[in-house]
Amino acid sequence: MNFLEKLFEGALWNSRFVILSAVIGSLLAGFAIFYLATVDVLYLFQHALHYADSSLTEEARKALHDSTVSHIVEVVDGYLLATVMLIFSLGLYELFISDIDQAHGSRASSKILVISNLDDLKQRLAKVILMIMIVTLFEEALGMAIEAPIDLVYFGAAIALIALALYLTHASDGHSAAATDGKDAH
């Protein structure tokens, strides 16, 4: 019976390596998104060169400007999404397979990629996803047509909710407690 138990436990423990498919898939998806965003930057740069064209009408220049700003926001969104995939991939690897020794020994990692438990991974992903949501709101705001006063109220409410989300995220990291402790010490 002891042999079967050891065999079963060994198989059970080694089943964690199935996570490698998610690690590799997430990493490849992140690389693909980095590639797409970088290609978008190259095309964006090509279009931006036309901005100085003297034959452009004022209306065409304004349209090019608005389009360029919108594309920049899309690129930022793409890079943030790629970052989510990278953090997710590295986090899964550290949680289920092994620590990444280079990340733990590196000053450059600044603890952003060192994941010690599932809550660390969720917290890091939530912050980046919140940033993606902020960028997406900004992107939508660029094309928003204000037709009635209630539109401004909705827009203001969206900004207030994002500010609240940022505040709560910042407070959950313990920054508010540290700031309070710092005030008491003086």
Please check the confidence at residue 33 and state whether its pLDDT lies above 90: yes
For residue 185, the model assigns a pLDDT of 44
> How far is Cα 39 from Cα 111, in angstroms, rounded to an integer?
30
Sign of the dihedral through C-alpha 29, 30, 35, 41:
positive
Q: pLDDT above 90 covers what percent of the chain?
A: 18
Report yes or no on whether pTM surpasses 0.75. no
- Amino acid identity of 84? V
Please check the confidence at residue 180 and state whether its pLDDT lies above 50: no
Nearest by Cα to 173 from 119, 133, 113, 129? 119
Helices 58-96, 19-49: inter-axial angle, 10-degree rounding = 160
For residue 184, the model assigns a pLDDT of 45
88-131: pLDDT as tens digits: 898 888 888 887 777 766 666 655 666 677 777 777 778 888 88
Q: Which two tokens stand for residue 23?
A: 């690690």
Nearest by Cα to 102 from 93, 123, 15? 93
> How far is Cα 143 from Cα 33, in angstroms, rounded to an integer?
24
Please give the C-alpha separations between residue 35 and each of 78, 125, 181, 185, in angstroms, as whole numbers.
Answer: 9, 21, 45, 49
Q: How confident is the model at residue 32 (pLDDT cuts 50, 70, 90)?
A: very high
DSSP secondary structure letters along 9-74:
HHHHHHGGGGHHHHHHHHHHHHHHHHHHHHHHHHHHHHHHHGGG-TT--HHHHHHHHHHHHHHHHH
Q: How confident is the model at residue 4 (pLDDT cuts 50, 70, 90)?
A: confident
